[in-house]
Amino acid sequence: MDGAASEDLSDSAQPQNDDIRVYFVPYRWWKEAQDSNSAEGNATRGVLYSAMPGSAYNGPMKIINNIFNSDLVFNLRREEDSGQINENGEVGVSGRDYALVPGDLWLKALKWHTDSRAAMKDGRTFSAVEDDMADVYPLLLRLSVLRETNSLGVKVTKKDNAVEFFRRACKIFSVDSELLHIWDFSGQTTLLLSNDRNKLPKDCQRQSDQEILLELQVYGLSDSFRCREGKKDEMAAQQSNMASSSCGASLTMNGSLGCMNSNFVQTNSPAFCGSSGEAGTLGLTGLQNLGNTCFMNSSLQCLAHTPKLVDYFLGDYSREINHENALGMGGEIALAFGDLIRKLWAPGATPVAPRMFKSRLARFAPQFSGFNQHDSQGLSKNGGWDQYLEVWILKRSLKELLAFLLDGLHEDLNRVKCKPYIEAKDGESRPDEEVADEYWRNHLARNDSIIVDVCQGQYRSTLVCPVCKKVSIMFDPFMYLSLPLPSTTMRTMTLTVVSADGSTPSSPCTINVPKNGKCEDLIQALSSSCCLKDDETLLVAEIYNNRIIRYLEDPTDSLSLIRDGDRLVAYRLPKVTDEDRLVVFMHQRIDEQYIHGKLSSSWKAFGIPLVARICNSVNGSDIYNLFLKLINPFLITTEGITNNPDSSNKTVIDEVEMKDAMSPVLSEGANDIDEKGVNPDSDAGLQFFLTDDKGSTRDSKLVMDEPVTRLPKRLNLLVFWPEKKIEQCDIRLFGSLPEIFKSGFIARRPQESVSLYRCLEAFLKEEPLGPDDMWYCPGCKTHRQASKKLDLWRLPEILVIHLKRFSYSRFMKNKLETYVDFPVDNLDLSTYITHKKCMASNRYMLYAVSNHYGSMGGGHYTAFVHHGGDQWYDFDDSHVSPIPEDKIKTSAAYVLFYRRVVDV
């Protein structure tokens, strides 16, 4: 038997490459196409098998076992006179005769039938999605070689197949009542009988030494197919009433090219005779969710509709697989992806289960670049990918999967077998065009693949040292653009603005500043928000325990030094002159409390320090009058509200009474003075003492008419308030300092719409590097927080844009629901490209969107895909349905896929 099988191997159709799938079709349907080819001398010979009942169990309880065994089992016996039977034409009449054909021959037969039917109707050309297309579904068979009978054992189980497909298989392969014949034109059975398993296709998976799992693509044997055979005219009328959109798509299968137009999507309506498929047109095939894999399905659908990638993987891409690349994966990722593309673009209505693709990912943990930089901390390095994949699935990180897949495909398909070592050269004041071309040539010398051809661009990166002003320019490739949303690049800060002339009360001011900005950005935003005058300036200070602990005077200091829990005050001061000095007033009051049953009194700090400018020559009265001016906004009026300087209403005490009641203690020999020189009498006036910047010491008391000698640059004073004077002011305004940022401090508002162009401008905007991303300056010989500027230099044919919706911090993770308004038909990047001499078009058209619905902790991914004309489709795992174009713009858009539009 083995020898006979080997001799007939040349007569049967051989698979041309490892990726050919086997189709199971009605023999009559196949024979009609074969007869037309035989006239041209292209007939393909097959091997005939007859089916007979079989049993998976041959023991003493065989009859009982067969009753309770739900598996479908039969045997295939090879007919030695298959050639004569074929020539006499005695087989294929009864309808119980079938054929096994490879994918390329099946496609040719399908083209012949479609063209023949179209020619009889209106002369239309091959349309692989009409009538016969929505009828392909997978069926898994377990095959074993029965040497004693020179036959093949076939088993179809419910475990391997969907319930509906198993039910259909029971009808097709029923061998108890009528004889069944199967013609093999694929050569797979011959390979099995010859025991040459190394030549079996990847659709054949070895389960054990005795059993092999083979996936068949069953075509033309469902109820809908039989219904269409009898009601073609009725079907054509119903199809014409459907909303159709014509889309030209190139399908390259094993070297043969067919032009297919998508004209309709099959639904589950009765018009299609109960068909169970969800989509019946090329490329509109869903992916089954294998358990939290919607993020993988979404990204795969977007890539599976990338024009040149589809053409490439439907062609003979295996010639470019680089098996020697140490950075690659032995071509397995490319083969798995290519096989998945062919399944998604094969005519049929059954969602594909990407198990093979997922299993290939699980084999390459060591090759995953950045493994220790993502969610894999603490995972074992040996076999850690299985754990990493689980974390990946739980977090549904579509961006990481997309980056890994594109990089993996590039390395598997890299045409460069031996990467040369190239040392990057400095620009040396050469023109940017010359340096950029040199960088690009160096990149292509090491990286040359379909991914580089289609998906990679180049940007210019400029770094400037803030100290020595050293400029470094690099030209780096990019695979996709990761654009920040404005809310991720900006930081909301709330400060308290205090007037230094007593004209206005203190008030909170909320501003937005760059997250990695500097203090000068803070001053600029504050100046604009509070309408700062030309002769004014701002002094920002941090307040802690009712005293100033630091001044933010260096404009180059990073804003990252300011924490969300800090409390800052911005003092509005007149611009400084050489003779001006700064005076800082800190406040204290009597604090009474019982300690061990005894009343005890002490002085306690309260309120916001007040700051003002004074000239170089002042006395006690000048400082006293200045202080009265500063506290004027805090005085209580007769109506019970604080004083408004612009109001004509008089205060509780007029100016004369106020000066008398709040006059400072001048004499150091006054009665009832404590050991530190402070009079605790509630009837005493305000008392002023010189102190240090911490307010911890009490030096000499301020004397009214005597000049203050040896004025320092900052004069620090302690002001002691008696309770009677405190009652005349609203001291709550002294202590109500908001934090820089606190959730709930600002009312939550719906986030406004932002354009994609604005996101791109935020990406290209010059900004300082973060404190954790310092740049080593070759001029200073140390790390500096340099400013960085990115510019687009060379754009790819396929532009992938990732919107940074997920923000991470040390204590919080958040998803931004900002609605991004992105162009659909005309994304024009002409104004954003720096290389003006580039001849390629800078206009793009949207063809796919990956969406994320839900929160940071969970959610669901889907994809919107353009499929010709104005027709878009929603890919939600296995479900595929049309969606209007005006519905594709949502706040769930996460990754955008654009293709270049060629200018005419």
Look at residue 499 and tell me whether its pLDDT is greater than 80. yes
Q: Are 166 and 289 in contact (CB under 8 A)?
A: no
Look at residue 438 and tell me whether its pLDDT is greater than 60. yes
Share of the chain above pLDDT 70, in %: 69
State residue 858's pLDDT score: 67
Mean pLDDT of 547-558: 90
Task: Summarize pLDDT for 461-473 with one digit per residue, the tens.
Answer: 999 998 898 888 9
| CB atoms near residue 70 (< 10 Å) | 9
Euclidean distance between CA atoms 176 and 643, whole angstroms: 104
Tokens (6 digits) for 142: 């377990």
Q: Which of 260, 261, 262, 263 is nearest to 241 (CA)?
A: 263
Q: Are 799 and 791 in contact (CB under 8 A)?
A: no
Residues forming a β-bridge with 547: 544
Half-sphere exposure for 479 (CA within 13 Å, toward CB):
17
Q: Where are the beta strands (DSSP E) in 535-656?
A: 536-544, 547-551, 568-574, 581-595, 598-614
Look at residue 123 and tell me whether its pLDDT is greater than 50. no
Euclidean distance between CA atoms 253 and 724, whole angstroms: 95
Euclidean distance between CA atoms 173 and 115, whole angstroms: 31
Task: Summarize pLDDT for 506-541 with one digit per residue, the tens.
Answer: 889 999 888 878 899 999 999 999 889 888 999 999
Q: Are 203 and 215 in contact (CB under 8 A)?
A: yes
Determine the Cα angle at 240 with ends 238 and 245, to 5°.
Answer: 125
Euclidean distance between CA atoms 320 and 410, whole angstroms: 11
Q: Which of 113, 204, 117, 293 is nearest to 878 (CA)?
A: 293
Q: Which residues of 380-405 are buried (b: 16+ CB within 10 A; e: fewer)?
A: eeeebbeebbeebbebbbbbbbbbbb
Q: Which of 780, 789, 664, 677 is nearest to 725 (CA)?
A: 664
| CB atoms near residue 179 (< 10 Å) | 12
State residue 738's pLDDT score: 83
User: Taking the alpha carbons of 837, 839, 840, 844 in that order, is the dihedral positive or negative?
Assistant: positive
| CB atoms near residue 434 (< 10 Å) | 10
DSSP state of 317: G
The active-site residue, picked from 113, 181, 247, 294, is 294
- In the residue annotation, 294 being an active-site residue is answered as yes
Look at residue 784 and tell me whether its pLDDT is greater than 50. yes
Tokens (6 digits) for 375: 């969610």
Residue bearing the bigger pLDDT, 780 or 560: 780
State residue 367's pLDDT score: 31
Instruction: For residue 615, name the pLDDT band (cuts at 50, 70, 90).
Output: confident
Instruction: Report pTM.
Output: 0.53
Euclidean distance between CA atoms 163 and 148, whole angstroms: 33
Euclidean distance between CA atoms 706 and 453, whole angstroms: 83
Residue bearing the bigger pLDDT, 724 or 780: 780
Look at residue 100 and tell me whether its pLDDT is greater than 80. yes
Q: Which of 520, 524, 511, 517 is nearest to 558 (CA)?
A: 517
- In the residue annotation, 273 being an active-site residue is answered as no
Q: Are 584 and 511 in contact (CB under 8 A)?
A: no
Look at residue 73 and tell me whether its pLDDT is greater than 70. yes
State residue 95's pLDDT score: 53
